[in-house]
Structure 1
Amino acid sequence: MVSERDDRAQLILIGAITLAFILLGIVVVFNGVLYTETLSSGGTSQSASTADTVELEVQQGVGCLLEEVNDDTGTTALLDDHAEDNITMFSNAYRDSTVHSTPAVVTVSYDGINILSGSITDVDIIVTYDTNELHFRRELTVGPGDCPT
């Protein structure tokens, strides 16, 4: 009788240990799935916040550039040419400065200008941000007041 009880106790103990290992395996697999899902969704949100940062940097940079063009140029006829040339140079310089730090291509295109009383009030630009995960194209109206002081 004692041996029969011992056999049952051993079977219950083996069953409990087996059940514990199965539950532990389920927890490990579930945790791995959650970790993988977190990693895969983390890159996209990072790219989106980087695109927002790029937009702000371009807006402020072009705003400061417009302040300089207004200060340096006296005639209305030259403002348009100077603004377009400077925005093109800004686009090239910005792309060259960010190409080593971010895996993205940023392009700033000149789209139009508004001039009032011999000075630039604002310009229309198109900011394009391209990565493997995200394509971002935004049309912005930027003025000299967008330059942080």
Structure 2
Amino acid sequence: MVTNETTDRSRGQIILIGAIALAFIILGIVVVFNGVLYTETISSGTASQGGSSAAVTDAELEQSIGCILAGYNETDKEAEIEKFGEIYRNVSAQSETTLIDVSDVEVDETGSGSNATVNVTYDTHDLRYNQQQDIESADCPENV
């Protein structure tokens, strides 16, 4: 009879070890699933700034191009603005989900200062639109 009692105890220990192993497997699956959900939630958020992205971009372009118009005494301001547009597109593409392109630059020199007309293209996953902006050298914050 002693052998029967020993056999019964070992079955209970095997069941207990199996239950603990099953609990660790379920815990591992829950942790992995939670990590996947957290990663998906974080990656679906926007990468752009808190305010309206178009409004922020308009203000940045207006001030930057205004300072180029006010600060450069060179006759080729159009080339400087186009170069700025390329740099701005590369920088904004790394920090936002919007592609911004500055093109069709026309600079008009008047007696009171320089004016520029630029075509700005906003391209996102959902929408694409063009906007023509008239920018003056007075739009530079340093001139205010």
TM-score, length basis structure 1:
0.57
- CA separation in 2, counterparts of 1:140 and 1:84? 14
Query: Which sections of structure 2, spanning at least 5 residues, go unmatched?
Result: 1-44
Q: Give the match for residue 89 of structure 1.
A: 83
- CA separation in 2, counterparts of 1:53 and 1:106? 12
Deviation at 1:48, TM superposition (A): 8.7
CA distance 1:109–1:138, shift in 2 (3 Å): same
Match of 1:141 among 124, 134, 138: 134
- CA separation in 2, counterparts of 1:61 and 1:120? 15
Kindly report which structure 2 residues correspond to 1:1-149, keeping only aligned pairs within 5 A, or say none. Answer: 49-69=52-72, 72-73=73-74, 79=75, 82-117=76-111, 120-149=113-142
Indicate the RMSD between aligned Cα atoms, in angstroms: 2.4
Query: Which sections of structure 1, spanning at least 5 residues, go unmatched?
Result: 1-41, 74-78
Query: Per-residue displacement from partner, 1:51-75 (whole Å, max 9, x unpaired)?
Result: 1111111111100111122xx33xx
- CA separation in 1, counterparts of 2:94 and 2:124? 13
Deviation at 1:136, TM superposition (A): 2.9
Query: Per-residue displacement from partner, 1:63-121 (whole Å, max 9, x unpaired)?
Result: 0111122xx33xxxxx2xx111101110111011111110111001134222124x742
Structure 2 residue identity aligned to 1:114: D
Indicate the structure whose relative CO is greater, using CA pairs within 8 Å and at least 6 residues apart. 1
Structure in which a larger fraction of residues adopt helix: 1
Secondary structure at the counterpart of residue 97 of structure 1: helix
Secondary structure at the counterpart of residue 94 of structure 1: helix
Structure 2 residue identity aligned to 1:110: D
The answer to whether the 8 A contact 1:84-1:110 is kept is: no
Provide the aligned length of Structure 1 versus Structure 2.
96
The answer to whether the 8 A contact 1:51-1:136 is kept is: no
TM-score, length basis structure 2:
0.59
CA distance 1:48–1:110, shift in 2 (3 Å): farther
Q: Give the match for residue 9 of structure 1.
A: none
